[in-house]
Amino acid sequence: MALPKINTPTYELEVPSTNEKIKYRPFLVKEEKILLIAMESNENNQILQAVKDIVLECTFNKLDLGDMPMFDVEYIFLQIRGKSVGEVSKLKLLCEDDGETYANVEVDLNDINVEVSENHTNKIELTDEMGIIMKYPTLDAFNDTGISEINSKNMLDVISSCILQIYDKKGEEVFDAKDQTQEELTNFIGDLNSKQFKDLQNFFETMPKLQHTVIVKNPKTEVENKVVLQGLNDFFV
């Protein structure tokens, strides 16, 4: 006689970038095992792949993660994690007032949202005649360096992968990034002056982020510290 199957509950959430409603379920023990093995490996590629696999499985394989902004995937994963192992995440955070003491903090995952800066735009005007239309980075952009982390090592590659179009008002031309090579896009970014590059960096600094601010009280000094949690690295990994 076959064993009875346990019914898994389903939930609904809104994708931050589109407000589209999707259904999801908690991850199962076999899926959690994959995640734990990836975490123990400390290999960023394995961790990213485990996150992507779990999000796909738990949303019934109805999402295209290849084009989905990183912050959407992070938010969906956090919701799945909350329904799977508990909606309160226990963290140990460094107190900035002395730089050495850690404090235990509990964060309600229901309070975590994707925050957007008021001055954010994906249209970067390089000159009066030329500019760039940007798209948001996906998780694939961070395969080599870890979840949601832009640093000096991967900066040019991440930026060039997020170019959607380059437009030239004078020549009334639009250049789609998909028609250019990675080398051509990277060289284009490398030829920008400092101000233009700073405007481009501002796109990433102000783009939507999985973010939450908590007040941490130092158990030694009793000083209250404001700590900004950002991305899966802070909330989970």
Residue type, 62: K
Taking CA 37 as the corner, what is the angle to CA 110 and CA 73, rounded to the nearest 5 degrees? 35
The mean predicted confidence, pLDDT, of the chain is: 88
What average pLDDT does range 112-128 have in this prediction? Answer: 91
Taking CA 34 as the corner, what is the angle to CA 30 and CA 39, rounded to the nearest 5 degrees? 140
pLDDT for 59 equals 96
Q: Are 182 and 160 in contact (CB under 8 A)?
A: yes
| CA atoms 102, 107, 113, 118: torsion sign | negative
Per-residue pLDDT of 185-234, as tens digits, reads: 999 999 999 999 999 999 998 999 888 999 999 999 999 999 988 877 77
Question: What are the boundaries of each domain within the chain?
Answer: 11-114+209-235, 123-206
Instruction: Give the CA dihedral 39, 40, 46, 47, nearest 10 degrees.
Output: 10
3 state SS for 48-70: HHHHHHHHHHHCCCCCCCCCCCH
Per-residue pLDDT of 164-184, as tens digits, reads: 999 998 768 999 999 999 899
The pair of structure tokens assigned to 108 is: 């309600």
Q: Are 90 and 22 in contact (CB under 8 A)?
A: no
